[in-house]
Amino acid sequence: MNAPARPPVTAYIALGANLGDPQATILKAMNDLALIEGVSLIKRSFLYQTAPVDSSGPDYVNAVVEVQTVLTAPALLAKMQYLEQLAGRERAYQNAPRTLDMDILIYGDASIESAALVVPHPRMYERAFVLVPLAEIAPIRVRPDQLRAVSGQAVKLVTDASVHGC
């Protein structure tokens, strides 16, 4: 007898890149997420350009996607890390410039604290490059005071509107 199917969970994933062609990398990663068995891409934010935070190198391109998934949070993370590796991600040192970085921001109502994964993401409310695109696709997930708290961090909309939607 087969085990009952897991009910789908809504998760939000942040994407960022600042090496190579970051805009193309983010768009490809969004499409690749949608191809993972057990993951459905529901919404994608516009792309945003931001200066590095706690890092160096060229400006980043950032976005957030909403997915529905039947994967567990650790299984989703493993699939995301595989996509990062395919994009040439190297973890030379903490906050190093990168070809692709993906983080689970929110996984349903779960609170997860393990060596490999902390959800909700512990620094998401400190970063405009996460909150602005998250507020765009899930305004109920970001309070106005949280946006005001990061309003001093410059976030520039990338004007290619063809990337928006699903």
Among this protein's residues, is 143 annotated catalytic?
Answer: no
Which parts of the chain fold into alpha helices (H)? Answer: 22-35, 73-86, 128-137, 144-149
Q: Is residue 105 a contact partner of residue 13, using CB atoms and an 8 Å limit? A: yes
Among this protein's residues, is 98 annotated catalytic?
Answer: yes
Q: Which of 101, 123, 127, 141 is catalytic?
A: 101
Q: How far apart are CA 118 and CA 139, in angstroms?
A: 22
What residues does 11 pair with on adjacent strands?
Answer: 67, 107
Among this protein's residues, is 89 annotated catalytic?
Answer: yes
Number of other residues whose CB lies within 10 A of the CB of residue 126: 15
Q: Which of 44, 103, 127, 141 is catalytic?
A: 103
Q: Which of 21, 32, 59, 98 is catalytic?
A: 98
* Residues carrying an active site annotation: 89, 98, 101, 103
